[in-house]
């Protein structure tokens, strides 16, 4: 059982909170308006609490970044002290949106949000994962007809092992988790966001993931 803080109480954050709580972890959902977040959810599970983002980062063991990727760097840099010594799991993509609200271009071409976060938070171990799928697949990979892939990027192997264990709690089998290497490999998976709008415009908002077939 681990104390997990989730920064961002939108669809991604609340979806992860529910599954991790059901797996036995104590979860704190951190948002700028925690009372609002508590009201919008279906009601807190026994292991889900609500707090502001600074408190969430300070009081939990592992932190998940589920804030909008285009503003994550600024938000999390302000939490440098609170995040020191912790694992930060980054599931966001930093993209600029087109007129229809779908991703249109990368915020950090030639780099990645994960790399920027690691540089800004040198005392934090950043691990990138779960950013190559729609949010509902993150916690229910078994629902896709083709087994999806969860990619891992990060400089610290021990941190990636810990994250692999949490992915198992979300339903991911070890053979479907691909360790790509250090944090610079996150630029490859973050670039995959550019395929998302084309798939959504063609097929609608249906669960999918960008997977490795062997």
122, 185 contact by CB (below 8 A): no
**pLDDT at residue 38 is higher than 80:** no
The predicted pLDDT at position 103 comes to: 87
Q: How far apart are CA 73 and CA 52, in angstroms?
A: 17
120, 73 contact by CB (below 8 A): yes
Q: How far apart are CA 181 and CA 209, in angstroms?
A: 20
Tokens of 105: 């271009």
Q: What is the arithmetic mean of pLDDT over 29-57?
A: 77
pLDDT, tens digit (0-9, with 9 covering 90-100), for 81-119 = 999 999 999 999 999 987 788 888 999 999 999 999 999
Q: How far apart are CA 103 and CA 201, in angstroms?
A: 11
Q: How far apart are CA 186 and CA 118, in angstroms?
A: 11
| Helix/strand number for the chain, H first, E second | 10, 10
Q: Whole-prediction pTM value?
A: 0.94
**pLDDT at residue 12 is higher than 70:** yes
114, 128 contact by CB (below 8 A): yes
Grade residue 21 by pLDDT with cuts at 50, 70 and 90: very high
The predicted pLDDT at position 97 comes to: 85
**pLDDT at residue 36 is higher than 70:** no
The predicted pLDDT at position 45 comes to: 62
Q: Which of 47-51, 100-104, 208-212 reaches the highest mean pLDDT?
A: 208-212
Q: What is the arithmetic mean of pLDDT over 37-55?
A: 74
Q: H or E segment at 28?
A: strand 26-30
Q: Phi then psi for 152, rounded to 5 degrees?
A: -125, 135
pLDDT, tens digit (0-9, with 9 covering 90-100), for 54-66 = 999 999 999 999 9
The predicted pLDDT at position 1 comes to: 73
**pLDDT at residue 44 is higher than 60:** no
pLDDT, tens digit (0-9, with 9 covering 90-100), for 123-176 = 999 999 999 999 999 999 999 999 999 999 999 999 999 999 999 999 999 999
- Of all residues in the chain, the percent with pLDDT exceeding 70 is 94
């Amino acid at each position: 059982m681990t104390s997990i803080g989730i920064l961002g109480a939108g669809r991604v954050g609340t979806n992860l909170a529910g599954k991790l709580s059901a797996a036995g972890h104590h979860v704190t959902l951190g948002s700028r308006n925690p009372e609002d977040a508590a009201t919008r959810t279906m009601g807190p599970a026994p292991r889900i609490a609500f707090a502001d983002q600074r408190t969430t980062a300070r009081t939990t063991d592992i932190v998940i970044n589920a804030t909008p990727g285009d503003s994550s760097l600024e938000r999390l840099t302000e939490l440098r002290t609170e995040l020191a010594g912790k694992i930060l799991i980054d599931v966001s993509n930093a993209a600029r949106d087109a007129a229809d609200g779908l991703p249109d271009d990368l915020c950090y071409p030639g780099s990645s949000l994960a790399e920027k976060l690691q540089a800004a938070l040198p005392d934090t171990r950043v691990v990138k994962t779960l950013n190559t799928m729609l949010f509902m697949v993150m916690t229910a990979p078994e629902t896709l007809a083709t087994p999806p892939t969860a990619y891992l990027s990060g400089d610290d192997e021990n941190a990636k092992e810990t994250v692999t264990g949490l992915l198992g709690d979300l339903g991911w089998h070890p053979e479907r988790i691909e360790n790509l290497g250090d944090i610079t490999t996150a630029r490859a998976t973050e670039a995959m966001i550019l395929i998302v709008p084309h798939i959504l415009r063609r097929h609608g908002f249906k669960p999918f993931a960008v997977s490795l077939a062997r």
